[in-house]
Each structure stands twice: as structure tokens, then as C-alpha cells.
Structure 1
Amino acid sequence: MEALQVLRLGLRAQSASFRVPECHGFQPTLPLPPLTAMTGIVGAALGLDYLSAQDYVVRKGIRFGVIGTSDGRAKDLWKHRKIKGKETITSVLIRELMIGLKTEIFLVSKDSGTIEELRGVFNSPKYALSLGSSDDLALWDTPVAMRDVSLVPLRRLKNTLVRGSLAGRCRMSIDLKNVPLNRPIHPPMVSLLPTSYEGVKGERRVVAKEPFTFVDNELELEQDVMGIVWENKGVPLL
């Protein structure tokens, strides 16, 4: 089994939202921070802009994992400005929020020096951390933790994010008789999301996209995915 160093960030937020890039009217939220949001969190801690943070993550060979749950969802009205030709007008859009998000983000590397550096950075971040927009300020739910782990095959997953599509490759393994009536049951959600950006004339443009599967209720996979185990919780690596 491959030995790795992992840093666990336990974060919570009163409200959180991770926008689906293609949605411009009603803006639904993704249920967990995607790969680009986690890269942005690293950038905030280091005091870097997004593209510099992306370069840092690639250069250091950092991989991510995430698990988390929220208490529910709500809708918020956002007033924003739109530029139409030479005219600037205001408009209102509906943004979906998660309430009471608790998430654990895992930064994984073969290099212990990189993880040790990041532990120091997150204990004294350059900028405030957020789970979504700048309004969604994050608080520490648990102390920053570091340990040695091994890469292992995972067959059962819950409340996590997997690289690739699990469509037709898994089955829900919950017993409906044991599920409270007020608890929603969500099937796996596959989204095509950006994985890399480039800067073009001061703009940030998508270079690559990949499918990712958001897993809510417990699933059993047809084929294992590789990840780590932290406190008896399986965490696929992205």
C-alpha cells in the first residue's frame, strides 16, 4: 500500500454555496466543494490568486478528498449588475444555499514537507476562508490534523465526491425502514465540472472539464475506487 501524508481541514459555515458554472438565472448549489473550490481554499490560506494556487497544487502534486453534510437548503435573492452594450442594468437572481454545512477537506501528498508547510499555513491563513462566495465565511469545526495514511480500495461511499461518473456502476445500500421520514434521499448526482483554468487577457477561462459524482446516501460500487480512510470514513481521492 502506498504511504501518503494527509492534512484534514474540518470546516463549517452557517451558509454555503458552490455554483454550477453553466447556470446564470437560477443558481443551484453543488452539495460539496468541487475540486476548484478546494484549490481556491488553498489559495486563500497561502495568499495567492486562483491561477497561482492552481499552479501550486499541480507543482506540489497535491490531491484532494472531501466529505460533508448540511442541515438543509434555502433560496436567496441576489441583486447584481449586468452590462448590455454600453448600458449597465441591475437584475435579481435566485441563488440556492446550503444551511449548516460541515465538511472535511483532505489534502494528500507523498511529500511530508508539503503537508507540513500547509499545516502551518492553515493554522495562520493569509485570508479568511470561505465555503463558496465571500459571504459564506468558514469556521474551524475541528483542529487542523495531520497523519500518515495509505492508499486503499474503497467499495462503500457516503457523503463524498468521486472523480468520474458512477452512473450504472453503483447501487444504494440503505435500508429505507431505518431512514427518518424527514430525511431526504438523494441519488448520486453527476456533474461536468471545470478542473483547470488559464488566464487570457485578464480573464479566467476553462481549459478542461471532467465528470464528477456527488454521493449523498450510502452506495455500494461495482468496482473499487482508490482513496484513504479517516476515522472509519472512506474518502476517494480526486
Structure 2
Amino acid sequence: MKNFIIEIQCQTASFRNPDFQNFHKSLELPPPTTIIGLAGAALGYSPLRAQEFFDESEFEIGIYGTYLGKCKDTWKYNKGIRDMRLYDPGLDGSIIQKEFLIFSTFMIAFSCNNEEAIEQLYKAFSYPIYALTMGNSDSLASIKNIEKNLDITEADKIENCFVQGNVVNEVMSLAGSGNFGFSIYTKDTLTYDLPIRFEYENDYGRRTVSKIETYSLIGDQMKINYNLKGLLYKNNFIPLFSI
């Protein structure tokens, strides 16, 4: 299975937490749909075509990241106008509070058995067609390094990454059968139900969520009582999961 990792940096980033509405709290890592969109920008594809690209080949991805701080800012957005009239800022606009991650570094892994597809994506990130952004159109990102064909490894210590499924439930299930070799410490909500696929009207049209999966967002280092498959990059273990 061929693979590569991109190391990407940005001054600001924001990935909307679906559990919050009026206040746009950010996830601490880009979710899978953001990674699909990022790849689509590099390839020069529409959102629909980018999703189809990942559907056509069985990709695995991994997401690892850190940031220096957080801030909140007011954000003006426009509501969709469905009837035939001119835009009215008094009726169609609103102000919300939005949370941003500051000076972030993300390490995104891509792995696939389809050598043609993985090579196409590797070349796209080497020479992106569209500007790369992280969550917002004005959160410009730059690729600092790309490394390919890393060895697949396993680890039971994880931090600053996404893991597919509910890690706590899995750990406790194994503990119930006598496997107590774990340590978990967290202050924040660990598990999220995140959209991974959308139904599009057309290439750039309206979209609705068509598939949701559970992911665990790992912050501080924890030791779990089973091994995860992943890639090791600059001494950072990045778990892989199917997308």
C-alpha cells in the first residue's frame, strides 16, 4: 500500500463543531470532509468530484495536529435567499461568534492500494491547482513538507489525532475482559459524530449530509489497551482509518 504525508501550516484555522449552533466552536483537528475538500482543491476538482475521487479508490487517511492558541472573533455571514428578491443585509445577514485555532501545524496522511490514484494525489499536493485553505476560505495554508512511502507501524500510545470509532468504549470493552493496560485522561468531549459524505445537487450546488460516522478526537497523550495501525512521521504516530 502506497502512502505519503503532507505537513501543512496556517496562521488561522476553524473547523465547525457540529454540536454547537449559535457559537461556532472549532474542532481541534480538521475532520475528514475538510481533508476531502483540501485534496479537491489541490486536484482542481469541484466538491462533488473530490468526493467521487475518494469513493473510486479505497483510501485511508490520518490526521495529526497541534496549535499555539485559540481566539474568538465575530463573523458575518449571509443566509441563503430562496425567493426572487435582492439581497437585504437587514434580513439576510447575521453576526456570530467563531472560534479559531492560531498558528496550527497539521500532518495529514494518505494511503491507498491504487497506485495511480495515490500518485495523482501526491503530484497534486506537490503542485496544487487551487489555493489550499483550512476550514475557511481566508484561512490560507502552505505545505511545508511532503514525505512518501513511509513504513506502516502500530502503536498503543496516541495524542493530537483522530481515531475512527469510540476509543473509550473500545478500551472499556477490553478492560471488561481483563485487559487493564491503559491510561486515559481528558477534559473535553472525546467522541463526535461527524459527516463524512454529502449528497450534492451538482458540482457546486446545495449539499445535505448523507453519511455520518463516529470519531474520537485525542488531545493529551493516552495509552490504550490495543494497537492501532498508522504511520510515524517526525516521531509523531498518525493512526490511519478508512474514508
Q: TM-score, normalised by structure 1?
A: 0.85
Q: Which amino acid aligns with 2:218?
A: V
Partner of 2:113: 110
1:229 aligns with 2:222: no
Structure 1 residue runs of 4+, over 6 Å off? Answer: none
Which deviations, in whole Å up to 9, do the C-alpha atoms of 1:179-224 show, x marking residues without a partner? xxxxxx7456211100111124742111111111111110111222
Partner of 1:144: 146
- The two structures, once aligned, show a CA RMSD in angstroms of 2.1
Q: Which amino acid aligns with 2:12?
A: S
Distance 2:81 2:126 in 1: 44
Distance 2:30 2:162 in 1: 9
Distance 2:101 2:121 in 1: 27
Q: CA deviation at 1:28?
A: 0.4
Partner of 1:192: 193
Which deviations, in whole Å up to 9, do the C-alpha atoms of 1:125-173 show, x marking residues without a partner? 1100011110110012x322212422x4321101111011122425337
Partner of 1:162: 163
Distance 1:80 1:63, change over 3 A: same
Q: CA deviation at 1:70?
A: 0.3
Partner of 1:220: 223
Distance 1:85 1:37, change over 3 A: closer
Q: Which amino acid aligns with 1:65?
A: G
**What residue ranges of structure 2 are gaps of 5+ in the alignment?**
172-181
User: Is the Cα–Cα contact under 8 Å of residues 188 and 215 in structure 1 kept in the other structure?
Assistant: no
Q: Which amino acid aligns with 1:226?
A: K
Distance 1:63 1:106 in 2: 8
User: Is the Cα–Cα contact under 8 Å of residues 150 and 231 in structure 2 kept in the other structure?
Assistant: no
> Mapping of 1:39-78 within 5 angstroms?
39-78=36-75
Q: CA deviation at 1:75?
A: 0.3
Distance 2:37 2:79 in 1: 25
SS in 2 for 1:18: coil
> Mapping of 1:71-150 within 5 angstroms?
71-82=68-79, 88-140=91-143, 142-150=144-152
Q: TM-score, normalised by structure 2?
A: 0.83
SS in 2 for 1:172: coil
Q: Which amino acid aligns with 2:146?
A: V
Greater shift, 74-83 or 6-15, is seen at 74-83
% of aligned pairs identical? 27
Distance 2:199 2:219 in 1: 31
SS in 2 for 1:73: strand
User: Is the Cα–Cα contact under 8 Å of residues 191 and 211 in structure 1 kept in the other structure?
Assistant: yes
